């Protein structure tokens, strides 16, 4: 069969590559379509042997829904003559659905995260438009249940994580003490890492807090670090866009004024989280909305996590590999940090990290998840053609 995967980013979306590689391995013709083919995603896809194509139409914003733009996209897709079209990210889903009305090929919507479903207006629209998808693939069980709640038949909904190269995260990055010295972190401290972009608040969708919950961690860390002199928090991440940069700068100022001196390290300009998980004792993900997020990479690197109960995050930890707290509850996060610190002092975190690593190998190995996605694409093509 012929598969077309359409995504509106040319930098992110690396999860598309293993799926296209697996489709080609099975003998299918697979094309990955994006706005610009010479940026990060296109370059990495070509290095993996994936056929890439520049999308000639807009894939987001109001102009993307004009008849002229939709017709342009439809002609490009029809020119490939696919059996199934796969699309990610809600803006792209809206455009592709509209452009391919009445098409003779199957359509599969792959959902990276649930944030947009928290908006009542978008949720109402998606309740209707999801009927246009032959199948919906959600990145976690929580989001899959929400689509079933919108009226999509359970037989048309799958929960398949966006996989990662788990072997890549288990590589040896050298001496932990050296890594800590390199980034100015005390060698013997209990080191907590949060690896995430700084996304600004989304109003009521995130209760006025940043999407990743940095403020929640700030409030918890202020109290936790005041009780311990052997703890360090490493916050790794850039701002997402100009608003994110401003938000990050504001939070840095807040953190530095509220938290004990020397307990914080801010790092930006890093596209690889592996060195930071290599120096960490614990990862924390206090998100207000999320699919699986950073804990899958932390776990694959052998690092246990504290996660909020947002979306699919609780699916990333077990009772033996991490802790869960109610989103937005900084007091509960403080208590979980205390439990993790006790585990650190008692020498239990290393074993928890091993359990986390096994859990991630079972859950998010890209070879397994890509195979599961291609299974759905094949099923969609067969069902649509019958």
| Tens-digit pLDDT profile for residues 244-272 | 999 999 999 888 888 888 899 999 999 89
- Residue 359: band (very low, low, confident or very high) from pLDDT cuts 50, 70, 90: very high
At residue 364's C-alpha, the angle toward residues 43 and 356, to 5°, is: 125
Residue 313: per-residue pLDDT: 97
Mean pLDDT of the chain: 94
Number of neighbours of residue 271 by Cβ within 10 angstroms = 7
Number of neighbours of residue 178 by Cβ within 10 angstroms = 11
Q: Is 54 in contact with 73 (CB distance < 8 Å)?
A: no
Write down the residue that tokens 């995130």 correspond to.
Answer: 206
| Average pLDDT rounded to a whole number, residues 149-158 | 96
Write down the residue that tokens 């007091």 correspond to.
Answer: 331
Whole-number Å distance between alpha carbons of 65 and 97:
10
| Average pLDDT rounded to a whole number, residues 201-214 | 89
| Average pLDDT rounded to a whole number, residues 69-82 | 96
Percent of the chain scoring above 90 in pLDDT: 87
- Residue 373: band (very low, low, confident or very high) from pLDDT cuts 50, 70, 90: very high
pLDDT at 100 over 90: yes
Residue of 107, 106, 117 whose CA lies nearest to 144? 117
Whole-number Å distance between alpha carbons of 135 and 106:
9
Residue 309: per-residue pLDDT: 97
Residue 266: per-residue pLDDT: 93
| Average pLDDT rounded to a whole number, residues 173-199 | 93
| Average pLDDT rounded to a whole number, residues 187-214 | 92
Higher pLDDT, 62 or 225: 225
Residue 32: per-residue pLDDT: 97
Residue 305: per-residue pLDDT: 98
- Residue 136: band (very low, low, confident or very high) from pLDDT cuts 50, 70, 90: very high
């Amino acid at each position: 069969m012929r598969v077309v995967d359409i995504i509106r980013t040319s930098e992110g979306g690396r999860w598309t590559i293993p799926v296209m590689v697996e489709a080609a391995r099975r003998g299918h013709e697979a094309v990955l379509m994006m706005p610009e083919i010479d940026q990060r995603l296109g370059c990495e896809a070509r290095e993996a042997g994936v056929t890439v194509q520049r999308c000639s139409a807009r894939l987001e914003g109001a102009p993307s829904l004009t008849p002229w733009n939709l017709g342009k996209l439809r002609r490009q897709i029809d020119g490939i003559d696919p059996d199934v079209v796969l699309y990610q990210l809600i803006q792209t889903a809206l455009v592709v659905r509209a452009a391919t009305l009445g098409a003779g090929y199957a359509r599969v919507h792959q959902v990276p995260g649930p944030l947009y479903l928290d908006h009542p207006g978008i949720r109402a629209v998606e309740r209707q438009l999801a009927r246009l998808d032959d199948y919906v693939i959600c990145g976690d069980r929580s989001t899959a249940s929400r689509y079933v709640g919108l009226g999509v038949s359970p037989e048309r909904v799958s929960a398949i994580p966006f996989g990662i190269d788990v072997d890549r995260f288990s590589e040896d990055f050298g001496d932990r003490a050296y890594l800590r010295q390199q980034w100015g972190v005390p060698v013997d401290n209990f080191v907590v890492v949060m690896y995430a972009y700084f996304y600004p608040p989304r109003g009521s969708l995130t209760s006025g807090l940043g999407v990743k919950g940095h403020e929640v961690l700030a409030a918890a860390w202020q109290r936790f670090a005041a009780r311990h002199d052997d703890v360090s928090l490493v916050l790794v991440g850039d701002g997402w866009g100009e608003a994110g940069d401003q938000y990050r700068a504001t939070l840095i100022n807040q953190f530095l004024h509220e938290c004990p001196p020397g307990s914080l390290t801010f790092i930006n300009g890093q596209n690889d989280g592996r060195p930071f998980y290599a120096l960490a004792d614990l990862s924390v993900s206090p998100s207000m909305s999320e699919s699986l997020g950073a804990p899958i990479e932390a776990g694959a690197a052998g690092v246990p996590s504290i996660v909020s109960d947002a979306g699919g995050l609780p699916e990333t930890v077990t009772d033996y590999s991490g802790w869960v707290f109610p989103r937005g509850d900084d007091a509960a996060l403080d208590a979980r940090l205390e439990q993790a610190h006790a585990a650190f002092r008692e020498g239990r975190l290393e074993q928890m990290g091993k359990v986390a690593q096994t859990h991630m190998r079972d859950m998010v190995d890209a070879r397994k998840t890509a195979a599961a996605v291609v299974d759905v694409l094949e099923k969609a093509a067969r069902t649509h053609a019958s």
